[in-house]
Amino acid sequence: MRGPLGWAYAAAAQVARAVAAVTPVSEAKLLRALAARRGIRARYDAWGRTGRDRSRPLLWMHAPSVGEGLQARPVLELARRIRP
């Protein structure tokens, strides 16, 4: 990501990474969520090297709930028709 938004996103990711690194293990939902993000950059990098077809464009769709996923499906299907 480039420009001011990219810089802001990178800064937020650095803060989240720092918080996740010092967060103790706990059953609290927030702490579990932060702990799950530890090493996320490395996992995405690994996926990019091994699991992604680099001959195809990448479209990232954020749909964290089932309802949002169902709403995103027609958009994804349209994108696949336009750029197979």
Same domain, 15 and 26: yes
Question: Residue 72: pLDDT band by 50, 70, 90 thresholds?
Answer: very high
Helix ranges (DSSP H) in the chain = 3-22, 29-36, 40-50, 66-82
Tally the domains of the chain: 2
pLDDT in tens, 23-57: 676 667 788 888 888 888 899 888 888 888 888 88
Verify that 2 and 15 share a domain, yes or no: yes
- Which domain does 13 fall in, by range? 1-52
Same domain, 31 and 60: no
pLDDT of residue 79: 92
**What is the tens place of the pLDDT at every residue in 7-23?**
888 888 888 888 877 76
* CA 59 – CA 61 distance, rounded (Å): 6
pTM (whole model) above 0.85: no
pLDDT score for 13: 85
Q: Is there a single domain that holds both residue 58 and residue 22?
A: no
To the nearest whole number, what is the mean pLDDT of the chain? 84
